[in-house]
Structure 1
Amino acid sequence: MVYIENIYSQEVIDSRGNPTIKVTAVLSDGTMESAIVPSGASTGKREALELRDGDRSRYLGKGVLKACENVDTTISEALIGSTPFDQGHIDAMLKSIDGTNNYSNLGANATLGVSMAIARAAANSLDIPLYRYIGGSNALVMPVPMLNIINGGSHADNTVDFQEYMIVPFGFDTFKDSLRASAEVYQHLKGILKDSKHITSIGDEGGFAPNLKNNAEPIEIILKAIEKAGYKPGEEISIALDVASSELVEKDGKYHLAGEGKKVTSYELVEYYEKLVAKYPIVSIEDGLSEDDWEGWQHLTERLGDKIQLVGDDLFVTNKDILRHGIDKNIANAILIKPNQIGTLSETMQTVRLAQRNNYRCIMSHRSGESEDAFIADFAIGINTGEIKTGSTARSERIAKYNRLLQIESEVPHTEYIGKELFKNR
């Protein structure tokens, strides 16, 4: 019988130069696998706790030695000798050991690292791909990518309010073709920006970060890049926005669009979105209102919920209880899935299953602080999220996920790419 022989951790560096945790699981059959936990810049206040040391003499207080110690002692001692092949049991033990509802004792970065590393080791021990271990024979759906090609907000030091301007290459038959088209659009976008004397430096997720005159100009420039690359906006490639509006709301409850010199109410912001959607081929808006503006979200869903995808990120934080409340209130119609918001793989899968049962779309997502770890590529296929957000076609920590998806598509002869099905009526 194969059992967990050892679990240990290491403080490593993420794509923003901040420390994060790497966990290694060793099984009794000699299998050894590791996982690196990502970290977000724009975070919801109801996310599970990412444990940081707070020691300003190391990494400006962002060290994760306490989380590492929790893995190496408390968690390791509890899990050694357990079977690695019962993910639900492993994750339930992590929850029980911590004893809180947000992993404030062990740290969600510690528990997720352990959860991921053990899953990866179990798959390797059985000599099957990670996506197959997670999803079985149903793991066949290649996710539609949402590629962040212009960065703003907290992901870039520029005058653009909205955090992400993404392209959604839905009108293709394979993931490979959708990624190729996206890469071509990205290169044409760079040329357009360069010709217009804009800077072509990139933000945290590989998108360009130019200073533009308002929040609509990035959309117009991206549409030019799509056309210049030889594709049809709205028919093959459309636009998605991540407003990250919790970052825009002020104490008076109004949203500050600093780049346009405006302060607006929820209803005025919804009206602003309606005009954008009417004018441009926008198929998805993420975090269009703040995580606390539930009344505004109801209005947004009433106005646009039957027209486009409305995604809750800070709103739901991958938490099934919060999502259930949103379902009951008829708020949004999609959820962003970030495993480190909730703390274990099992809890992530519970949230996805609840969403899918209630016809909410799911988008697997990276974080702005990433690593070379491509776990979420397999995870997206394993739980059939159907969509994935993992940055632009630049920066190796983003490309690692896309390259893993390309590898999976080439290895599995009967995968489905469902972009046309998802967005054909949008």
Structure 2
Amino acid sequence: MKIASVAARQLLDCKARPLVEVEITTDTGHVGCGASPTGSSVGTHEAFVSRDGNPSEYDGLSVHRAVNAVTDEIAPALIGAELDDPRTLDRIMIELDGTPDKRRLGGNAIYSTSIALLRAASGAAGTPTYAYVAALLGLDPPGTVPAPSFNMINGGRYGDVFQTFNEFLVVPYRAHSIESAVERGVTLFGVLGDVLARRYGRAPVMASSFGYVAPSSDPRVVLELLTEAVELAGCADTMAFALDCASSQVYDEGTQTYAFNGERVTSEALIDYAWALSEEFPLLFIEDLLDGDDWDGFTKAAQTIDRSIIVGDDLIVTNRDRLQHAARTSAVDGFILKPNQVGTIAEALDCYEFASQNSILTIPSGRSGGVIDDVVMDLAVGLAAPLQKNGAPRSGERIEKLNFLLRAAERIPDCALADVPALARF
């Protein structure tokens, strides 16, 4: 089987921002499509997203340059190549680009092509992409689906409130099935809206990532509201909480301090505060508590906070070299898998394999500027990940992630929900 054609075009992501879609057709007639999402909280070490910078079109966000990179350079390098293992062709693109962050061709051009290669190969194999991923790595056929985690309340600056923690999540970690997990999350979101309306006397505002706007600058107050909501919804025994702090966004390198609850605080103070929260609330994991280059701080957090899983996103950016350094320094217990951060499926799978060999938890996640048919869901199921970050149970691309899990559970023989209680430390 050889690659017969490679086409690229500019389309839109879920926030109406331009993205690159690539379509690959094999000489056997199999077609694979891929599109690269973009994030709102973007780590400084992520693969470069190539945009045109033309203010007269999409405020400079158009991606014609990346489309041309696919058409003019990537396509000639791939057409006629064998598609036995798409990872081999990923590495051809890496060499063709020749830069550490895929700046020359664009990480969005390369990653969209990488997805299309994977899907064309799985289509030719006659298997779902998640099953193809498992076979590619020599893993057992998928037998579980991950527990979804739901982004309920979002941080940011709204009026007098500046909540520096980015996401407050709930995880139906003790649900007995994926159907129950999804239903609990969706129902809780509605109950939480009622709690916020009663407490503050007005309908809650929806944030740009579709969770509710945080009503307080103090994370403890937000977690108390979530506690009230899970109790009213009758699912307190099922739900755990989680935090995505995204602290790189509020870090000042000059003073080495973080904006937090109306003050500027040190990493030590932030670690102590998070430790206190983990002692008070059932926090399954805490993501990006510190800046994406604060290796010493992450190591201290992992040593100090023993009731929550310390997870790196901006710290790791799905990069195997950074994950290896994290393992050497005992900086994290887990990492967020976002393949577009590193720019190819092959490199993302390399990162997963290292994590698996070193007992580091992998949590696949979509991006805020997502796509309806996100390949990260295939990776989540194919890699038997126990957890999946799905976003708020609102908007089409997030609902589609939930529907993906429901369909997969129906199609996988004797499928079960992953054993998340085995991970809990509280």
TM-fit CA distance, 1:158: 5.6
Q: Does 1:34 align with 2:33?
A: yes
The residue identity in structure 1 corresponding to 2:48 is L
Q: Does 1:401 align with 2:412?
A: no
TM-fit CA distance, 1:246: 0.5
For 1:155 and 1:180, locate their aligned partners in 2 and report how far apart those are by CA, in whole Å: 30
* Structure 1 residues 37 and 422: alpha-carbon distance in aligned structure 2, compared to 1, 3 A threshold: farther
Work out the percentage of aligned pairs sharing the same amino acid: 30
SS in 1 for 2:102: coil
Tell me if the contact between 1:291 and 1:315 (Cα under 8 Å) persists in the aligned partners.
yes
TM-fit CA distance, 1:112: 0.7
The residue identity in structure 1 corresponding to 2:211 is G
What do residues 74-104 of structure 1 show as CA deviations (whole Å, max 9, x unaligned)?
A: 0011101112231121111111111112111
Q: Does 1:214 align with 2:214?
A: no
For 1:330 and 1:28, locate their aligned partners in 2 and report how far apart those are by CA, in whole Å: 47
The residue identity in structure 2 corresponding to 1:141 is T
Corresponding residue of 2:52: 53
Corresponding residue of 1:274: 275
What do residues 243-297 of structure 1 show as CA deviations (whole Å, max 9, x unaligned)?
A: 000011112101111xx21111111111111111111111210000111211211
The within-5 A match list for 1:243-254 is: 243-250=245-252, 251-254=254-257
TM-fit CA distance, 1:71: 0.8
SS in 2 for 1:153: strand
Tell me if the contact between 2:9 and 2:67 (Cα under 8 Å) persists in the aligned partners.
yes
For 1:73 and 1:267, locate their aligned partners in 2 and report how far apart those are by CA, in whole Å: 50
SS in 1 for 2:33: strand
* Structure 1 residues 421 and 219: alpha-carbon distance in aligned structure 2, compared to 1, 3 A threshold: closer
The residue identity in structure 2 corresponding to 1:415 is C
For 2:12 and 2:141, locate their aligned partners in 1 and report how far apart those are by CA, in whole Å: 35
For structure 2, list consecutive stretches of 5 or more residues without a partner in the other structure: none
For 2:211 and 2:348, locate their aligned partners in 1 and report how far apart those are by CA, in whole Å: 27
What do residues 292-334 of structure 1 show as CA deviations (whole Å, max 9, x unaligned)?
A: 2112112111101x32111100001100001101100110110
Corresponding residue of 1:227: 231
Tell me if the contact between 1:42 and 1:154 (Cα under 8 Å) persists in the aligned partners.
no
For 1:322 and 1:261, locate their aligned partners in 2 and report how far apart those are by CA, in whole Å: 32
What do residues 105-144 of structure 1 show as CA deviations (whole Å, max 9, x unaligned)?
A: 1111111100101111221222211111111343223112
TM-score by length of 2: 0.95
* Structure 1 residues 324 and 192: alpha-carbon distance in aligned structure 2, compared to 1, 3 A threshold: same
The within-5 A match list for 1:190-209 is: 190-196=193-199, 197-209=201-213
TM-fit CA distance, 1:391: 0.4
SS in 1 for 2:272: helix
SS in 2 for 1:422: coil
TM-fit CA distance, 1:211: 3.0
Q: Does 1:255 align with 2:254?
A: no
What do residues 381-422 of structure 1 show as CA deviations (whole Å, max 9, x unaligned)?
A: 112222111201111111111101110001112223224443
Tell me if the contact between 2:24 and 2:116 (Cα under 8 Å) persists in the aligned partners.
yes
* Structure 1 residues 307 and 214: alpha-carbon distance in aligned structure 2, compared to 1, 3 A threshold: closer
Tell me if the contact between 1:155 and 1:368 (Cα under 8 Å) persists in the aligned partners.
no
For structure 1, list consecutive stretches of 5 or more residues without a partner in the other structure: none
What do residues 135-159 of structure 1 show as CA deviations (whole Å, max 9, x unaligned)?
A: 1343223112121111113899963
Tell me if the contact between 1:249 and 1:290 (Cα under 8 Å) persists in the aligned partners.
yes
What do residues 14-70 of structure 1 show as CA deviations (whole Å, max 9, x unaligned)?
A: 122211111111111222231221001111111111111112221111111111001
Tell me if the contact between 1:4 and 1:81 (Cα under 8 Å) persists in the aligned partners.
yes
* Structure 1 residues 178 and 13: alpha-carbon distance in aligned structure 2, compared to 1, 3 A threshold: same
For 1:283 and 1:156, locate their aligned partners in 2 and report how far apart those are by CA, in whole Å: 30
Q: Does 1:133 align with 2:136?
A: no
For 1:352 and 1:157, locate their aligned partners in 2 and report how far apart those are by CA, in whole Å: 41
The residue identity in structure 1 corresponding to 2:156 is G
76-85 or 322-331: bigger deviation: 76-85
Corresponding residue of 2:98: 99
The residue identity in structure 1 corresponding to 2:172 is P
The residue identity in structure 1 corresponding to 2:284 is V
Aligned residues: CA RMSD: 1.8
Corresponding residue of 1:413: 413
For 1:205 and 1:400, locate their aligned partners in 2 and report how far apart those are by CA, in whole Å: 15
Q: Does 1:166 align with 2:165?
A: no
For 1:46 and 1:155, locate their aligned partners in 2 and report how far apart those are by CA, in whole Å: 28
Tell me if the contact between 1:374 and 1:404 (Cα under 8 Å) persists in the aligned partners.
no
The within-5 A match list for 1:68-107 is: 68-107=67-106
Runs of 4+ with deviation above 4 angstroms: 154-158
Tell me if the contact between 2:86 and 2:121 (Cα under 8 Å) persists in the aligned partners.
no
Corresponding residue of 1:149: 152
The residue identity in structure 2 corresponding to 1:66 is R
Aligned residues: 420
The within-5 A match list for 1:306-321 is: 306-321=306-321
For 1:191 and 1:411, locate their aligned partners in 2 and report how far apart those are by CA, in whole Å: 36
Q: Does 1:238 align with 2:243?
A: no
For 1:14 and 1:411, locate their aligned partners in 2 and report how far apart those are by CA, in whole Å: 28
For 2:326 and 2:374, locate their aligned partners in 1 and report how far apart those are by CA, in whole Å: 30
* Structure 1 residues 419 and 158: alpha-carbon distance in aligned structure 2, compared to 1, 3 A threshold: farther
Tell me if the contact between 1:154 and 1:163 (Cα under 8 Å) persists in the aligned partners.
no
Tell me if the contact between 2:144 and 2:409 (Cα under 8 Å) persists in the aligned partners.
no
The residue identity in structure 1 corresponding to 2:189 is Y
SS in 1 for 2:164: coil
Q: Does 1:22 align with 2:21?
A: yes
For 2:369 and 2:12, locate their aligned partners in 1 and report how far apart those are by CA, in whole Å: 9
192-201 or 113-122: bigger deviation: 192-201
The within-5 A match list for 1:352-367 is: 352-367=352-367
SS in 2 for 1:147: strand
TM-score by length of 1: 0.95
Corresponding residue of 1:335: 335
